[in-house]
Chain A
Amino acid sequence: AQSVSQHNHHVILSEAASLELGCNYSYGGTVNLFWYVQYPGQHLQLLLKYFSGDPLVKGIKGFEAEFIKSKFSFNLRKPSVQWSDTAEYFCAFRTYNTDKLIFGTGTRLQVFP
């Protein structure tokens, strides 16, 4: 079955620490990959996306992600987190022949000043 695995359920960091959130998807064909963020009480917002080309994609707010096809991974990174990055982060993918997004269970990030 198509699924997304986010290994870290809850991550706690201090400001200025580096962040890496893991994401692995299960599907053997072509995919589009996404990271969404949900700030407390707000809707899902797109952080970044990968469709094709350079596997290292840059998003908003200093986030980036790297698509490694051989590992079916799309890990999210940020070199220095801020308190305002406290939120829930969702990895998702879509196969080439559908529009529906398949989401991971999310990673809750707490950043302390």
Chain B
Amino acid sequence: DSGVTQTPKHLITATGQRVTLRCSPRSGDLSVYWYQQSLDQGLQFLIQYYNGEERAKGNILERFSAQQFPDLHSELNLSSLELGDSALYFCASSPSPGSSYNEQFFGPGTRLTVL
């Protein structure tokens, strides 16, 4: 157990819908990362938050957005869902950004299926 929790574990929804994935980082970690794992794209970085502020953006679609709340949990919002959004979404956390010795701890993931 990495200490990072994600809910829900599984999510099945229809095209065009909107879903919210939730992540709680390890106790004491200030930085949260979201990654998408799909069969065709592999594991790709989506976005990073540090202490409530967006710090880095990767290959995140405009239909997707995220935020980090004052209690440091983070939510990833996916809207106008398409079949191709079906994937495993991982959250990771680390103590602070920019440190050379930073390592990321991953949650169990949320498996999203879009029908």
Name A's B-contacting residues (CB within 8 A): 32, 34, 36, 42-46, 49, 51-52, 90, 92, 96, 98-106
Chain B residues touching A, range: 20 to 34
Name B's A-contacting residues (CB within 8 A): 2, 4, 31, 33, 35, 42-45, 48, 55-56, 58, 90, 92, 94, 97-98, 100-109
A100-B103 contact in complex given A43-B108, A43-B109, A45-B2, C-beta closer than 8 Å: no
Contact A100 B43 (CB under 8 A): no
What's the Cα separation between A77 and B104 when bound, in Å?
Answer: 22
Interface contact tally, CB-CB below 8 A? 54
With both chains docked as a complex, state the minimum distance between the C-beta of A29 and any C-beta of chain B, in angstroms: 13
Chain B residues with CB below 8 A from A90, complex form: 43
Contact B2 A99 (CB under 8 A): no
Contact B42 A104 (CB under 8 A): yes
Q: Which residue on chain A has the smallest CB distance to residue B41?
A: A105
Contact A46 B103 (CB under 8 A): yes
